[in-house]
Amino acid sequence: MAGKPELAEAKFLTVAEVAAMMRVSKMTVYRLVHSGEMPAVRVGRSFRVREEDANAYLQNSYYNAG
């Protein structure tokens, strides 16, 4: 069973790494994962988020005030 090549080459981040990158709490990242707003892979009891998915979430979350 062959996996997708893009997944094999992807850099996966822990929830703590995503939280640090976004400067939010780990609980905020868990909420995003559980709500489906941020795709993640479950590994045992923990989650891993592709770096490009975290970046895409941030890119799509820009808010222009005023």
The span from the CA of 33 to the CA of 66, in Å, is 30
pTM, to two decimals: 0.82
Per-residue pLDDT tens for 15-55? 999 999 999 999 999 999 999 999 999 999 999 999 999 99
Residue 2 has pLDDT above 80, yes or no: no
Q: What letters, b where the CB count within 10 A reaches 16 and e where it falls short, cover 8-33?
A: eebebbebebbbeebeeeeeebbebb
Beta strands in 1-66 (DSSP E): 12-14, 41-43, 46-50
HSE, side-chain direction, 13 A CA sphere, residue 6: 4
Q: Give me the domains of the chain, ranges plus CATH numbers.
A: 9-60 (1.10.10)
